[in-house]
Amino acid sequence: MHSALDRAYFIYPETMEATVYNQQGKSAGKISLPEDIFNVPWNADLVHEIVRLMNSNSRTPVAHTKTRGEVRGGGRKPWKQKGTGRARHGSTRSPIWVGGGVAHGPRNEKNYSRKINRKAKSKALFTILSKKYKDGEILFLDSVKFEAPKAKEAKGVLDSLSKIKGYERLGTKKANAAIIALDKKAAAVEKSFRNFGNVAVEEFRNINPVSVLNHTFLIVANPAESLKALTAKK
């Protein structure tokens, strides 16, 4: 049962049955989708928190400044403590001197990693998938197969899928158009799309909230098998 508040913020589809297409963009059947994955109310706070933590965990500190103890020189007191009329100083490597160390600057040993609750991460992923399904941004394919790596064939698949109503931008969007989620690793498919800067390919079990949000469309290959990986994340 969903509360009236949930229904006010999320429009549930009349059915959880989705169309499955083939590589030529033709209908190849239907598939029933689990409601606890594709019918979850939108939770902006949860999604924001998980994405923020994941971005923090993937951060690699590069900027690095030296403290006064690491810069070269400054071993001799610049002038005597008293009697000169000038301010007292003990080293020319002080942060207030030109060429001195940096106070409170960025350091590459800083740890930005944060703990992410596994169930919260899964709930965020289901929330995003539900939103994309509601917005018509998830496309189910019976399979994606190539005999050998062929960029021409990969381009043909994208052109065919872009003819499906609602997915026209697959063929025109220049960046982050789609992520193709495979039910298992397929080297020929990965190599075929390697030169397409607007398409990413990975196994469906490895998709996460950030990777899905970073692309407009999610193309799920062999959904009957792929969705089994999500049920394990509940």
Predicted local confidence at residue 15, as pLDDT: 53
Four-residue CA torsion sign, 45, 51, 177, 148: negative
Helices (runs of H) and strands (runs of E) counted in the chain: 8, 6
**Which pairing describes strands 17-21 and 138-141: parallel, antiparallel, or unpaired?**
parallel
Beta strands 217-221 and 138-141, pairing class: parallel
Q: What is the pLDDT of residue 112?
A: 92
Residue 67 burial by Cβ neighbours in a 10 Å radius (0-12, 13-18, 19+): middle
**Helices (H), ranges, 84-222:** 118-134, 151-161, 187-192, 209-213
What pTM was computed for the model? 0.80
14 has a pLDDT exceeding 60: no
DSSP conformational letter for 10: -
**DSSP annotation string for 73-89:** ---S-SS-SSSSSSPP-
What's the whole-number mean pLDDT along residues 31-35? 93
Q: What is the CATH number of domain 4-59+113-231?
A: 3.40.1370.10
Burial of 196 (0-12, 13-18, 19+ CB in 10 A): middle
Q: What is the pLDDT of residue 11?
A: 44
Residue type, 73: G
| Region 162-184 average pLDDT | 92
Beta bridge partners of 140: 20, 220
Q: Are 136 and 170 in contact (CB under 8 A)?
A: no
Q: Domain extents for the chain?
A: 4-59+113-231, 62-111
Query: How far, in Å, CA of 51 to CA of 162, rounded?
Result: 29
- 206 in the Ramachandran plot: left (φ > 0), alpha (ψ -120 to 50) or beta? alpha
pLDDT of amino acid 41? 96
Residue 27 has pLDDT above 50, yes or no: yes
Confidence band, pLDDT 50/70/90 cuts, at residue 5: very low
pLDDT over 90, % of the chain: 83
Over the stretch 194-217, which tens digit does the pLDDT of each residue have?
A: 999 999 999 999 999 999 999 999
Q: Which amino acid is at 32?
A: S
- For 118-150, the pLDDT digits (tens) are 999 999 999 999 999 999 999 999 999 998 999
pLDDT > 70? residue 4: no
